[in-house]
Amino acid sequence: MEYTVEKLKNLESFKDFLDSPEGHRLFKNKYSGDWFIRTHAQELIAAGVLVKLMGRFHIVQPDFVPTLIELLQEKTKRSFSVKH
């Protein structure tokens, strides 16, 4: 996926996101946020909302949270349909 100049302007370090009120609302602590990124990095990168620069993850705002929610909704639907 290509990153436009506009998206690059909207990069925020994942660490800063975790320290924000929005980050606190989505992730109980740093460890749960780090776990989520480790387990879903490929999907978030493919969606164009996660990049790794200088060894650290950065998110593309404002697209990160809506994409994260969509990803989890799809995983929930698949999980629910398999079990039922």
> pLDDT tens-digit profile of 30-51?
999 999 999 999 999 999 999 9
pTM: 0.82
pLDDT digits (tens, 9 = 90+) for 9-19: 899 999 999 99
Contact call for residues 16 and 24 (beta carbons, < 8 A): no
Min mean pLDDT across 4-8, 51-55, 65-69 is at 4-8
> How far is it, in rounded angstroms, from Cα 32 to Cα 17?
13
CB contact at 8 A, 50 and 59: yes
- Residue of 43, 73, 55 lying closest to 14 (CA atoms): 55
